[in-house]
């Protein structure tokens, strides 16, 4: 009997969470997180029949890799690479767009030269949230996360470039 999309997604999410918890409990280095997540992606891609499904898998793994790169204070070469992959693939949903934009701004103490791009990304996420109905929980939670990111970052928004 074939499982539904929702059932497959739930199983994959639980498997990924279990693997991440095992790595956290083992105090594994970033390289181990990256290897494990990319192996899961490869395994899941083999069993996925549709391009839409493959894109969903790639996005999910890419978003987790950005979070892990942030958690491990990875240098720009790694964090930036992971971020660009997510931007190329697109975000799974608005909540993850907000999450990653917040991580990017909060990491600017490591990559101050990326300030304009990070702030642009955060402001784009905020504009998108402001289009969500006021009563929706995502709007409140997202705006709260953005306010927090703005309050804890140590690198302020660069001033606008003046054109002559």
In a domain, 161, yes or no: no
- Domain end among 92, 108, 128: 92
Q: What is the structure's pLDDT at 1?
A: 59
Q: What is the structure's pLDDT at 163?
A: 47
Rounded to whole angstroms, how far apart are CA atoms 138 and 93?
A: 11
Please check whether residues 57 and 121 belong to one and the same domain: no
Instruction: Give the gyration radius of the chain's Cα atoms.
Output: 17
Rounded to whole angstroms, how far apart are CA atoms 45 and 55?
A: 9
Q: What is the structure's pLDDT at 69?
A: 98
Please check whether residues 25 and 38 belong to one and the same domain: yes
Task: Identify which of 101, 9, 31 has the alpha carbon closest to the alpha carbon of residue 63.
Answer: 101
Rounded to whole angstroms, how far apart are CA atoms 60 and 64?
A: 6
Rounded to whole angstroms, how far apart are CA atoms 144 and 72?
A: 24
Please check whether residues 53 and 129 belong to one and the same domain: no
Full residue range of the structural domain in which residue 77 is found: 1-92
Please check whether residues 19 and 76 belong to one and the same domain: yes
Please check whether residues 78 and 111 belong to one and the same domain: no
- Domain end among 92, 121, 137: 92
pTM: 0.90
Q: What is the structure's pLDDT at 164?
A: 47
Please check whether residues 85 and 145 belong to one and the same domain: no
Split into its structural domains, the chain has a count of 2
Place of tokens 């697109």: 90
Using 50 as the pLDDT threshold, list the residues of the chain that sit under it: 162-164
Q: What is the structure's pLDDT at 118?
A: 97
- Given a contact cutoff of 8 angstroms between Cβ atoms, the answer to whether 45 and 57 are in contact is yes
Per residue in 54-84, pLDDT (tens digit) is 999 999 999 999 999 999 999 999 999 999 9
Rounded to whole angstroms, how far apart are CA atoms 155 and 117?
A: 12
Instruction: Please state, rounded to an integer, the average pLDDT across all residues of the chain.
Output: 94
């Amino acid at each position: 009997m074939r499982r539904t999309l929702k059932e497959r997604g739930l199983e994959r999410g639980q498997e990924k969470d279990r693997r991440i918890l095992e790595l956290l409990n083992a105090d594994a280095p970033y390289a181990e997180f990256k290897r494990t997540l990319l192996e899961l992606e490869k395994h899941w891609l083999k069993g996925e029949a549709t391009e839409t499904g493959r894109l969903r898998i790639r996005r999910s793994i890419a978003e987790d890799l950005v979070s892990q790169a942030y958690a491990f204070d990875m240098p720009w070469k790694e964090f930036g690479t992971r971020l660009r992959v997510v931007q190329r693939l697109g975000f799974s949903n608005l909540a993850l767009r907000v999450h990653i934009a917040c991580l990017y701004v909060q990491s600017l103490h490591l990559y101050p030269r990326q300030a304009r791009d990070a702030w642009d990304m955060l402001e784009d996420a905020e504009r998108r949230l402001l289009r969500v109905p006021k009563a929706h929980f995502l709007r409140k939670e997202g705006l709260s996360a953005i306010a927090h990111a703005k309050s804890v970052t140590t690198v302020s928004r660069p001033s606008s470039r003046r054109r002559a």
